[in-house]
Chains A and B, each alone.
Chain A
Amino acid sequence: QVQLQQSGPGLVKPSQTLSLTCAISGDSVSSDSAAWNWLRQSPSRGLEWLGRTYYRSKWYMDYAVSVKSRITIKPDTSKNQFSLQLNSVTPEDTAVYYCTRAGGRQWLGNFLEYWGQGTLVTVSS
């Protein structure tokens, strides 16, 4: 059974960096049939896909255009986890952030079967 456990601060000051980590159990971040995604949800923006990382003989990352200049998603194979960094945050980045897994035993596309518990991140001074 795949489980995703999120960790990171719930309060970030404006202009600083939001950092979250997602620890994976029951699967490997290096799986060649999975992709590891970050999303967020807020009343104003709804559900928003932010980006993903995945391994297919080498590591790939792709990001939503809306955050591309500020986001980094990185795998950590030594700890079997992946992380999200979002720079220069503003109050508009206040949201519940989710880590998720797409894929599994075979790659059928980027639909999201497993989700972390969600982390409410508030951007405020």
Chain B
Amino acid sequence: EIVLTQSPGTLSLSPGERASLSCRASQSVPNSYLAWYQQKPGQAPRLLLYGASSRATGIPDSFSGSGSGTDFTLTISRLEPEDFAVYYCQQYGSSPYTFGQGTNLEIK
């Protein structure tokens, strides 16, 4: 099973700043099959990116992803108030399809 470790656990930033969230895998993720999700309280997760860097439908270009192998990054170029949430990475290259423990992006 591929274990995903996200860092930091909590990231405190201000609107307008740039956010970088890390997701590290215990072994190489096949085909860079890595997705990112955003979750707000009381809601289901929302798909942001798949294939490490492809944006899902309707996701603004302020969200971008990079990485391959075992190291992946989600970048939010300029934080809007609605971007403060919990972010999860998921690998879907190898069953079981595992998730990271999440990064809580909070307003400073």
Contact = CB atoms under 8 A, between A and B. Distances in A.
A111 B96 contact: no
Interface in A91-125: 98, 102, 108-113, 115-118
Which of under 10, 10 to 19, 20 to 34, or 35 or more describes the interface residues of B?
Answer: 20 to 34
Nearest to B43: A118
Contacts, number: 53
A49 B97 contact: yes
Grouping DSSP codes into helix (H, G, I), strand (E, B) and loop, the B interface class, with mixed when no group exceeds half, is loop
A66 B35 CA distance: 22
A47 interface: yes
Interface stretch (B17-25, B66-74, B76-84, B98-106): B98-106
B92 A111 contact: yes
Given A47-B45, A111-B90, A112-B47, A64 B96 contact: yes
B58 to A, nearest CB: 11
A76 interface: no
Which of under 10, 10 to 19, 20 to 34, or 35 or more describes the interface residues of A?
Answer: 20 to 34
Given A62-B95, A64-B96, A115-B45, A109 B51 contact: yes
Interface in B51-74: 51, 56-57
B51 A112 contact: no
Interface of B: 1, 31, 33, 35, 37, 44-47, 50-51, 56-57, 88, 90, 92-93, 95-99, 101-102
8 contacts: A47-B102, A62-B95, A64-B95, A98-B44, A102-B92, A110-B92, A113-B47, A117-B44
- 6 residue pairs, one from A and one from B, having the closest CB atoms: A115-B44, A47-B99, A111-B35, A110-B92, A111-B50, A49-B97
Interface of A: 46-49, 62, 64-66, 98, 102, 108-113, 115-118
